[in-house]
Chains A and B, each alone.
Chain A
Amino acid sequence: MMTYFLLDDNTVGQSDSILRKINLSENFKITPIQLTSWESDLIKIKEIFPKADGIILDWRLYEGNQPSGITYSAESLAQHIRFLVNDKQIKRDVPVVLCSANPDFTSSYERDGTGHDLFLKVYSKDDFSGDSENVVRELNALSEAFQQIQNSKLSDWFQTPADVNIDSRLKNELGDLIDKKIPHNIVKFILCEIILIPGILIEEDTLAARLGIDKSESSDWTVLRENILTPRFVYKGILSKGWSRYWADGLINWWKTTINEKHPQYYSADERVEMLKNKTKLSNLVAAKKLPFCLSNDFWAICEATRQPIDPSDGLRIQSNTLRAWQEERYLSLSSILDRKSKGIKLNPIEKDRLEYLKNLAKENGQK
């Protein structure tokens, strides 16, 4: 039974209500702990850590004016936990995540960046009370990841297929972190720099885009994915139970050996799908169409807002930290921006002029 502890200033009764749904999950439980004051809470923390598979802190601790009278923030608590781990007062490091009832919180927090490193991930309270299967999977995966880090060797973590090479720079950086022996930092790195950013691993939407396939229109997509693609190059390594990914190189290798010896990017979406249909004998695969204002259908990435395939040359780069060598850019499509459906995703400032130019072009072409 995987047990997470939720630390916040709600009464246990209130928290129990909120958690009742998620606690219906098999082999997973969140136990609420009510916090009262710094001194007593620190003692509680040291007590629960050995029993915990993970810790959830409620951001509301910080917002002040709480009837409970808590005067410290979730950040300070998290900071202190880090200290305790480094100081070896806590023997076993476990995932620490943040959650908040404020609906805007998650996106603004991610934008803000401060205190980022203290938490592996941020959730909204709605995630717990609503459709919570995803959350359970992720929390499970995070916890297992910590165990893997502490109990097995690097070579076992990623379950790298034989035909995939890992960039040496990644190996170096990972190696440095491993030397420092802080599981939190290692898992954070893997989650944020390998899983969540396309490069070595890609999501299903990107996979479909690279094959030129419109997922929603292709009734044979699931067949293709489950019978052919997944067995060949699905990612089975650390954190894979929480985040479903595929090996980017695995896709290329499979394509070159099974479908066509040339790299799929040589071909347009229509051509790729034709070849796929021929070789796999699956007839219900439909080629993806260009988004409005796009010129090319040599899809290789997705629009982060609409999740539709896009050729990087048509996309506008989103704001992100400096990319590491093994990471790829992420994009927004012009149509998602014009339709104001870009979901608060920010663009790379470098795209300011290009956005103006593309907008004027769209206006001129009478695309209203």
Chain B
Amino acid sequence: METNREELIKQLKALDQQLEEIDKDTVKFSVDAGIIDRLGRELVGRQETAVAELVKNAYDADATEVVLTFKNTDLAGGSLTIEDNGHGMDRNAIKNGFMRLSSTSKIHNPVSPKFNRKRAGRKGIGRFATQRLGEKLIITTQTADSPTALRVVINWNDYNIDTDINLISNEISEVPKEKPHGTTLNIEPIREGWTYAEIQRVFRYVSDLLQPSYLSDRLKNSKIIFGVQDEDSFSVVCRKQINAEIEIINDIDKSFFDKSLAVFQGYIDDNWDGYCSVESKSLEIDSLDSLREISAGRDRKEVEKFKYVKNVHFKAYYYIYNRAEYYLHDGIGISSTELKKVNDFSKTSSGIRLYRNGFRVAPYGEAGDDWLGLDEKVNMASHSRRVPLSNRNLFGFVEIVDIEGSLFEETSSREGLLQNAAFEELVDFLAKSFESCRNIVESSIGFLEKKAKREQHKSEDKTQSDFETIEDFFNANEDTDKQNTSSQKEKAQQALENIKQTLNRELGETAMLRVLAGIGLSIGEFVHEIRQFNPIFQSEIAVLSKYADADTLKDSINGLSQNFEQFRTYAAYFDETIRNNLKRELVPIDIRIVVRDFLAIIKRTADKNQVNIETFFHGYDLFTCPMHPSEWSSILFNLYSNANKATIKARVSAKILIQVKEENSRIVFEFCDNGTGIEDIHKNKIFNAFFTTSTPAGRNASQNEELIGSGLGLKIVSDIIESYEGEIFVSNPPDGFKTCIRIELPKATDEQIKEQINDDLFSA
């Protein structure tokens, strides 16, 4: 057989030469085998693309399941197997399809025979992707009709340069069938090792090759099947095998999409008009109400139609991390743990993907890709950090229906679309739409927060409407047609009265604050001066103590001594506080220390009143963002004083619980007591100025008595906390306690903490 073959080849060569002699005025193309390298390794840049092409081929072959097995692929030399249950290939299909470069079979048969699937690849050079992956390719394929399977062995190393491609042979043989129908590609030895992360990346890529769902009817109702990828129609299984052990690579759980904060959607319709909208239950945004037009042009006033692109749809799930409270609606929301999980997913699976005719186009939407310029914008602009719009916040895709292929063109390497005018317009539309959606969300969040605040500040609203009433009154005067009825005049007068009252109250608050500030300064000076008397009192008391004989005298001096101790501690505490006040520097506050110092101060009074105080610190380095050290004295004293009053009122054996922990880069400080509790209707009001449930001071009360229970305490505390972008609110108390005040403050950055600790522990 060999000699026969050699003879035939010689004859072929001779015939060729003869033909050339005759056709002296013609030349023909020949193909050097090096083209394989060009089409394989050099053209297919990424391993994922290679594998994706092969999976697409399985799809085109009407497969419903494809199994990828990476065997011993940690280092080069392992194998990758791609098994599908498609229709398989007979000898003819192999010869004229697989083995023919730029085969036209997909052009002649644009849909698959069984499921009518639109062909995934049109360029017909996907097979060389295997050359990218490994040195040898073994195809084992069988059709339903054939009694046997065919086995082709292609050794890519045979395809060296300076060899005519026609002259390289590949072994084909008949083997027993492995299954009814389908193809198995066995690629080995693998050229490069695959890390676990790389396998995961491939799997993520191929498991999203097809659109997750239909966005438009056009695609759905097409006579040609543009597949969506779900378990019934087409599924991809990925396995990693080391020797005999097999591990299935799992995909992320997509059910969390149901819990997104908002869903952004948009499209350019058949009339070249662009729109976008937002849907969010927790933020009370309705997609119909929020519909916005997107203009193709730069002029913000006029809405221009799009020119190149139409019939594109997009849908994206939007998340803001660290703000689980935004998601709450009707008691259902997302837990901090779940939100953190989504955040972790977003590292690899977020972004906006692009599907053209149902098929994924790489690399849009992959980790690190920023084709819409979202991350770039975040880095540059002064975007609201409250409503971030980076790729990490979005999980979505764009659906382009371009059946004729007239709008967009994939590059040969299958890595991206050609950046023509249509593509640029698409990017522009999407970027503008997302920005619009972001704005809708931001205004909604702002509105909701204002609404919450408005409950506290009803007077502000009222004042606003009062101003409007008065304005209307004056404006109506100018209009000679409308005469002011006496009732309108009354309304205006009432409004004026209201405003006067509000103004008085605001002035009152300011005056009160000024008084307190003045007192504070005086106290500061006083405390500093009295310090010099400490050693004198201490010494004289000690002497008295030594010489006191009678019991009564002894008791009296004992009492004097102990109380003086307490006095000293108070004085020392405030002395330090005042001294800190003089330093205007903000420093990260170590909660452990401020609480400890505070407890040392109130210990005597607490013990005397039998107040049981427990503290729990969870974790270390519990530093708040830089604050004024003295502010924490205000906060703690205030909370303690309120708790004290509440427990006395409730006539219970007083218990106080202080818990400090870290959550989502915030320091959470909870102060709980078992006093009378706070009624629900008051929960938002207690932080208002002048809100107090204490009995007002009597007529003869001193200014001091007036100030205690003035209702300014919590307002001051709340102002302090909010000035650092923290929050304070009434939260649910643990068992055994009635009230829990929860303070959340941003945590100091790692650098700030390190600096603070270094200052404490290491000398300059």
**B762→A352 contact, CB < 8 A:** yes
CB 8 Å contact bits of B286-320 with A (1 = contact, 0 = none): 00000000000000000000000000000000000
Instruction: State whether the Cβ of A337 lies closer than 8 Å to any Cβ in chain B.
Output: yes
**A362→B620 contact, CB < 8 A:** yes
Instruction: State whether the Cβ of B702 lies closer than 8 Å to any Cβ in chain A.
Output: no
A101 to B539, CA, bound (A): 13
Instruction: State whether the Cβ of A103 lies closer than 8 Å to any Cβ in chain B.
Output: yes
How many residues of B are counted as interface, with CB atoms below 8 angstroms from the partner's CB atoms? 25
Instruction: State whether the Cβ of A69 lies closer than 8 Å to any Cβ in chain B.
Output: no
The interface-forming segment of B32-40, B368-376, B399-407, B529-537 is: B529-537
**B539→A20 contact, CB < 8 A:** yes
Would A339 and B592 be within 8 Å (CB), given that A21-B538, A363-B620 are in contact?
Answer: yes
Instruction: State whether the Cβ of A14 lies closer than 8 Å to any Cβ in chain B.
Output: yes
A84 smallest CB distance to B (angstroms) = 29
**B543→A24 contact, CB < 8 A:** yes
Tell me which of A17, A338, A362 contacts B539 (CB under 8 A): A17
Instruction: State whether the Cβ of B366 lies closer than 8 Å to any Cβ in chain A.
Output: no
Instruction: State whether the Cβ of A129 lies closer than 8 Å to any Cβ in chain B.
Output: yes
A126 to B537, CA, bound (A): 11
Name A341-359 residues within 8 Å CB distance of B.
342, 344, 346-347, 349, 352, 355, 359
**B620→A21 contact, CB < 8 A:** no
Find the A residue at minimum CB distance from B661.
A368
Instruction: State whether the Cβ of A331 lies closer than 8 Å to any Cβ in chain B.
Output: no
Find the B residue at minimum CB distance from A348.
B762
**A319→B763 contact, CB < 8 A:** yes
Would A129 and B761 be within 8 Å (CB), given that A340-B590, A362-B620 are in contact?
Answer: no
Contacts of A111 in B (CB 8 A): 763
Would A349 and B762 be within 8 Å (CB), given that A101-B532, A103-B572, A368-B618 are in contact?
Answer: yes
**B761→A101 contact, CB < 8 A:** no
**B761→A340 contact, CB < 8 A:** no
CB 8 Å contact bits of A10-44 with B (1 = contact, 0 = none): 00001001111110100000000000000000000
A129 to B531, CA, bound (A): 14
Find the A residue at minimum CB distance from B546.
A24
Instruction: State whether the Cβ of B542 lies closer than 8 Å to any Cβ in chain A.
Output: yes
Instruction: State whether the Cβ of A246 lies closer than 8 Å to any Cβ in chain B.
Output: no
Contacts of B532 in A (CB 8 A): 101
A111 to B761, CA, bound (A): 12
Find the A residue at minimum CB distance from B532.
A101
Residue of B535, B590, B596 with most chain A CB atoms under a 10 A cut-off = B535
Tell me which of A18, A22, A24, A347 contacts B761 (CB under 8 A): A347
Instruction: State whether the Cβ of B619 lies closer than 8 Å to any Cβ in chain A.
Output: yes
Contacts of B531 in A (CB 8 A): 101
Contacts of A101 in B (CB 8 A): 531-532, 534-535
Instruction: State whether the Cβ of B384 lies closer than 8 Å to any Cβ in chain A.
Output: no
Instruction: State whether the Cβ of A237 lies closer than 8 Å to any Cβ in chain B.
Output: no
Instruction: State whether the Cβ of A130 lies closer than 8 Å to any Cβ in chain B.
Output: yes
A284 to B561, CA, bound (A): 37
Would A19 and B539 be within 8 Å (CB), given that A111-B763, A319-B763 are in contact?
Answer: yes
Name B609-657 residues within 8 Å CB distance of A.
618-621
Instruction: State whether the Cβ of B758 lies closer than 8 Å to any Cβ in chain A.
Output: yes
Instruction: State whether the Cβ of A128 lies closer than 8 Å to any Cβ in chain B.
Output: yes
Name B389-445 residues within 8 Å CB distance of A.
none
Instruction: State whether the Cβ of B503 lies closer than 8 Å to any Cβ in chain A.
Output: no
Would A126 and B590 be within 8 Å (CB), given that A319-B762, A319-B763, A347-B762 are in contact?
Answer: no
Secondary structure call for the B interface = helix
A164 smallest CB distance to B (angstroms) = 35
Would A346 and B592 be within 8 Å (CB), given that A20-B539, A20-B540 are in contact?
Answer: no
CB 8 Å contact bits of B517-547 with A (1 = contact, 0 = none): 0000000000000011011101110110010
CB 8 Å contact bits of B723-764 with A (1 = contact, 0 = none): 000000000000000000000000000000000001011110
A333 to B164, CA, bound (A): 77
Residue pairs across A and B with CB atoms within 8 Å: the count is 69
Contacts of A355 in B (CB 8 A): 761
Instruction: State whether the Cβ of B593 lies closer than 8 Å to any Cβ in chain A.
Output: yes
**B536→A338 contact, CB < 8 A:** no
A122 smallest CB distance to B (angstroms) = 16
**A346→B539 contact, CB < 8 A:** no
**A346→B763 contact, CB < 8 A:** yes
Instruction: State whether the Cβ of A82 lies closer than 8 Å to any Cβ in chain B.
Output: no
**A346→B593 contact, CB < 8 A:** no
Contacts of A342 in B (CB 8 A): 760-761
Contacts of A22 in B (CB 8 A): 539
Residue of B532, B538, B593, B620 with most chain A CB atoms under a 10 A cut-off = B620
A346 to B618, CA, bound (A): 25
Contacts of A352 in B (CB 8 A): 758, 762
Find the A residue at minimum CB distance from B616.
A368
A346 to B534, CA, bound (A): 29
Contacts of A346 in B (CB 8 A): 761-763
B43 smallest CB distance to A (angstroms) = 47
Name A196-226 residues within 8 Å CB distance of B.
none
Tell me which of B543, B592, B762 contacts A20 (CB under 8 A): B543
Would A18 and B592 be within 8 Å (CB), given that A342-B761, A346-B761, A349-B762 are in contact?
Answer: no
B738 smallest CB distance to A (angstroms) = 27
Contacts of A92 in B (CB 8 A): none
Residue of B534, B539, B758, B762 with most chain A CB atoms under a 10 A cut-off = B539
**B534→A126 contact, CB < 8 A:** yes
CB 8 Å contact bits of B662-684 with A (1 = contact, 0 = none): 00000000000000000000000
A101 to B546, CA, bound (A): 24
Instruction: State whether the Cβ of A125 lies closer than 8 Å to any Cβ in chain B.
Output: yes
**B592→A21 contact, CB < 8 A:** no
**B762→A129 contact, CB < 8 A:** no
**A126→B761 contact, CB < 8 A:** no
Contacts of B592 in A (CB 8 A): 339-340
A283 to B593, CA, bound (A): 40
Tell me which of A19, A347, A349, A359 contacts B620 (CB under 8 A): A359
**A21→B763 contact, CB < 8 A:** no
A18 to B761, CA, bound (A): 35
Contacts of A319 in B (CB 8 A): 762-763
**A21→B536 contact, CB < 8 A:** no
A334 smallest CB distance to B (angstroms) = 10
Contacts of B590 in A (CB 8 A): 340
Name A134-162 residues within 8 Å CB distance of B.
none
A342 to B761, CA, bound (A): 8
A126 to B7, CA, bound (A): 116
Contacts of B760 in A (CB 8 A): 342, 344
Find the B residue at minimum CB distance from A102.
B531
B573 smallest CB distance to A (angstroms) = 11
Contacts of A368 in B (CB 8 A): 618-620
Contacts of B596 in A (CB 8 A): 340
Tell me which of B543, B593, B619 contacts A21 (CB under 8 A): B543
Find the A residue at minimum CB distance from B590.
A340
A17 to B541, CA, bound (A): 10
B601 smallest CB distance to A (angstroms) = 15
CB 8 Å contact bits of A115-131 with B (1 = contact, 0 = none): 00000000001101110
**A17→B619 contact, CB < 8 A:** no
Find the A residue at minimum CB distance from B619.
A368
A154 to B593, CA, bound (A): 48
B276 smallest CB distance to A (angstroms) = 44
Contacts of B539 in A (CB 8 A): 17-22, 128-129
B667 smallest CB distance to A (angstroms) = 14
Contacts of A21 in B (CB 8 A): 538-540, 542-543
22 contacts between A and B (CB under 8 A): A17-B540, A18-B539, A21-B540, A21-B543, A101-B535, A103-B572, A129-B539, A130-B538, A130-B542, A319-B763, A338-B620, A340-B590, A340-B593, A340-B596, A342-B760, A342-B761, A347-B761, A352-B758, A352-B762, A355-B761, A362-B620, A368-B619
Given contact pairs A21-B539, A101-B535, A355-B761, a sample of 14 additional A-B residue pairs in the complex whose CB atoms are under 8 Å apart: A14-B536, A18-B539, A20-B539, A20-B543, A21-B543, A101-B531, A101-B532, A129-B535, A340-B596, A344-B760, A346-B763, A347-B761, A362-B620, A363-B620
Closest 4 CB pairs of A and B: A129-B539, A21-B542, A21-B539, A129-B538
